[in-house]
Structure 1
């Protein structure tokens, strides 16, 4: 996963956002030490894709080591009634 920075100025309207890298484009040198210069990105939320985004606009996220907190925070945190299924407040 990656976060693409917004690129909006006169003549350019590319909002960026959270996406998945689908392809890497290298600098064209034939050596083993060629570097990645551009990537193709798929934005799953907007169902769009963008080709050849420069790596300067990317921030790569490590989602494997991130902690995910699940629960009902903000909803009272007590869950549902076992008898009728409504949200409990006690």
Structure 2
């Protein structure tokens, strides 16, 4: 199971590699499908801080127990990110 540390590592790797985007897969267990949030590199530091404050170590949203981050990846273009996110979704299935 992924943890907040894994998400932080993803952000750190993306920053170091010069990635353009990070995609975060969020599952709301009251909905049929997950949602994908795309963060641009200009927001990486802000979004990393946000996730660290809003989610617990198990990637569950602090205020809402049925919302959890279930995957994430980074990419250098939208198509690159799409491929990485699709890989994550396939692994989850």
Q: TM-score scaled to structure 1, two decimals?
A: 0.27
More helix by share: 2
Q: TM-score scaled to structure 2, two decimals?
A: 0.27
Q: Which has the higher contact order (CA 8 A, sep 6+)?
A: 2
